[in-house]
């Protein structure tokens, strides 16, 4: 059985969010993860002694015991082009400290044990490792982009390039992370599709969209006449406005319908990110789920993630 504190990753992040909101108000964004890690851990018998950004290939981040005293060190990889990913990785490692450091001490020799977070080796992870990685991602996601605040930022407004820029600036996260987080809580019918060379790498539909038959399959062909298919999404700055497309272009399990598409193309990564916004559904039967919809729990690492 787990030896964790019993607090879920979501709960742990929400508790910190609450404190930050009380102390700093609106000035808490983007979250100063390093400052928070020192402040929170300094009252513990095993505080975080170092947070260091390092120029190294081969890992995203690491939580390891201090070699000489009862303390922890966080290292995370420098990614100058992707400051949002750096912040996410740091928050992820802080999540391991909050949730898993006791596991680490018990399961292995303290002198050699460390969490090395290596996305490239995820196929070799054990089930327990996978669970801890997912929990650390969930913690980071909830800490950096609290639901209540995010919801207030986008309430009742169509998602546009300008609004996305506002959100990524406010939270200091990547575009992909921001869109995933939005899809997780919105009660509108929206989907995101990450594509390369005319095929979907992966995608995600909001609960309302999923319930109405919209499901993005990996490997799905990107429609020729969509903005993503035509490659005329342009940069986020250049377009920014969702374009109305008639039925017959984007098709999903229950057929096709008109959609508003906003596509952002990253030349650097060679991928496109499309946001599809559908009109309110009529006539579909919605089923109640037992589990709350939380795509943070399904964070997987890959191209364009974070």
3-class DSSP assignment, residue 255: strand
Asked if 141 interacts with Zn ion (CB under 5 A), we say: no
| Smallest separation, CB 20 to Zn ion (Å) | 22
| CA-CA-CA-CA torsion sign (117, 119, 121, 123) | positive
Query: What is the spatial distance between Cα 133 and Cα 300, in angstroms, rounded to a whole number?
Result: 9
Asked if 99 interacts with Zn ion (CB under 5 A), we say: no
Asked if 136 interacts with Zn ion (CB under 5 A), we say: yes
Asked if 74 interacts with Zn ion (CB under 5 A), we say: no
| Smallest separation, CB 115 to Zn ion (Å) | 5
Region binding Zn ion by CB under 5 A among candidate stretches 131-139, 150-158, 209-217, 248-256: 131-139
Region binding Zn ion by CB under 5 A among candidate stretches 10-18, 116-124, 195-203, 245-253: 116-124
Are 132 and 99 in contact by the 8 Å Cβ rule? The answer is yes
Asked if 228 interacts with Zn ion (CB under 5 A), we say: no
Q: State the number of binding residues for Zn ion (CB under 5 A).
A: 3
Residue sitting closest to Zn ion (CB): 117
Q: How many CB atoms lie within 10 A of CB 8?
A: 15
DSSP 295: G
Region binding Zn ion by CB under 5 A among candidate stretches 111-119, 172-180, 253-261, 290-298: 111-119
Query: What is the spatial distance between Cα 16 and Cα 151, in angstroms, rounded to a whole number?
Result: 18
| Smallest separation, CB 48 to Zn ion (Å) | 15
Asked if 98 interacts with Zn ion (CB under 5 A), we say: no
Region binding Zn ion by CB under 5 A among candidate stretches 127-135, 178-186, 240-248, 257-265: 127-135
Where in the chain does DSSP place strands (E)?
48-54, 61-65, 72-77, 115-117, 190-196, 199-205, 243-245, 251-252, 255-256, 259-266, 271-277
| Smallest separation, CB 298 to Zn ion (Å) | 16
Query: What is the spatial distance between Cα 66 and Cα 111, in angstroms, rounded to a whole number?
Result: 8
Query: What is the spatial distance between Cα 229 and Cα 217, in angstroms, rounded to a whole number?
Result: 16
Region binding Zn ion by CB under 5 A among candidate stretches 6-14, 42-50, 133-141, 233-241: 133-141
| Smallest separation, CB 1 to Zn ion (Å) | 21
Residue closer to Zn ion (CB basis): 9 or 183: 9
Residues 145-184, one symbol each (x = binds Zn ion by CB under 5 A, - = not), give: ----------------------------------------
Asked if 191 interacts with Zn ion (CB under 5 A), we say: no
Phi, psi of 144 (to 5 degrees): -75, -35
Residue closer to Zn ion (CB basis): 44 or 130: 130
Q: Which residues contact 89 (CB under 8 A, 6 or more apart)?
A: 60, 61, 76, 77, 79, 117, 306
Asked if 143 interacts with Zn ion (CB under 5 A), we say: no
DSSP 189: -
Query: What is the spatial distance between Cα 304 and Cα 287, in angstroms, rounded to a whole number?
Result: 32
Interface with Zn ion by CB under 5 A: which residues?
117, 133, 136
């Amino acid at each position: 059985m787990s030896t964790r504190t019993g607090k879920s990753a979501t709960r742990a992040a929400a508790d910190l969010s609450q404190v930050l909101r009380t102390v700093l108000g609106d000035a808490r964004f983007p979250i100063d993860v390093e400052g928070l890690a020192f402040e929170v851990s300094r009252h513990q018998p095993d505080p975080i002694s170092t947070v260091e950004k390092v120029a190294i290939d081969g890992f995203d981040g690491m939580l390891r015991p201090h070699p000489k005293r009862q303390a922890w060190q966080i290292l995370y990889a420098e990614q100058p082009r992707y400051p949002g990913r750096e912040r996410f990785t740091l928050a992820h490692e802080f999540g391991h400290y909050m949730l898993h450091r006791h596991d680490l001490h018990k399961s292995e020799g303290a002198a050699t044990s460390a969490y090395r977070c290596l996305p490239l080796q995820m196929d070799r992870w054990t089930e327990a490792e996978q669970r801890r990685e997912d929990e650390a991602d969930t913690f980071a996601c909830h800490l950096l982009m609290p639901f209540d605040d995010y919801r207030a930022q986008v309430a009742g407004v169509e998602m546009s390039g300008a609004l996305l820029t506002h959100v990524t600036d406010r939270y200091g996260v990547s575009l992909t992370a921001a869109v995933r987080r939005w899809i997780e809580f919105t009660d509108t019918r929206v989907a995101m599709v990450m594509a390369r060379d005319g095929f979907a790498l992966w995608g995600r539909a909001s609960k309302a969209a999923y319930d109405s038959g919209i499901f993005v399959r990996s490997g799905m062909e990107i429609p020729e006449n969509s903005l993503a298919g035509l490659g005329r999404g342009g940069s986020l700055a250049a377009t920014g406005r969702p374009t109305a497309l008639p039925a017959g272009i984007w098709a999903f399990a229950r057929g096709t319908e008109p959609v508003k598409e906003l596509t952002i193309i990253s030349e650097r990564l060679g991928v496109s990110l499309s946001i599809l916004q559908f009109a309110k559904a009529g006539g579909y039967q919605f089923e109640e789920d037992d589990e709350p919809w939380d795509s943070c729990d399904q964070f997987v690492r890959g191209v364009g993630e974070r």
